[in-house]
Amino acid sequence: MKEIKGQFEVKATPVEANAVAKELGLMQMKFEKKFEGLLQATGLVSMMGMMNQEKGSGGSVALKKITGEVESKKGSFFLKHSATMAQRKPHQSIAVVPDSGTGDLAGI
């Protein structure tokens, strides 16, 4: 496993929840990211989640498509995010979606 560190900027936009998300009382968001450093890329994220503001607890799931260049390799790949917060204590899991890599990033 390799770790890449760098900076990124985020633009967050609420989007209208689909029918199932509305029925469940979930929020949906779109995030656009710009990565700098070893990863020169853009990211487009679809996230769905819920939050109990009073208790500081909630959860979210997201899929992110990263398109750009890392260590001179160009292409795209998807990341799967899963996050929870229990009384303001966060836990997050991020993994590359298997076989989602394209171009030079195939097999990531």
Flag whether 53 is in a domain: yes
Flag whether 36 is in a domain: yes
93 burial (CB, 10 Å; 0-12 / 13-18 / 19+) is exposed
Rg (the chain; Cα; Å): 15
Distances in Å between the alpha carbon of 46 and those of 7, 15, 60?
Answer: 20, 9, 10
- Residue 65, domain CATH: 2.40.350.10
Q: Into how many domains does the chain fold?
A: 1
For 42-93, how does the pLDDT look when each residue is reduced to its tens digit (9 = 90+)? 999 999 999 999 999 999 999 999 999 998 999 999 999 999 999 999 999 9
96 has a pLDDT exceeding 90: yes
Alpha carbon distance 102, 76 (integer Å): 5
Read off the pTM: 0.87
Flag whether 19 is in a domain: yes
Flag whether 107 is in a domain: no
Q: Determine the structural domain holding residue 91 and report its residue range.
A: 7-100
Flag whether 2 is in a domain: no
For 22-40, how does the pLDDT look when each residue is reduced to its tens digit (9 = 90+)? 999 999 999 999 999 989 9
* Torsions phi, psi for 94 (to 5 deg): -130, 130
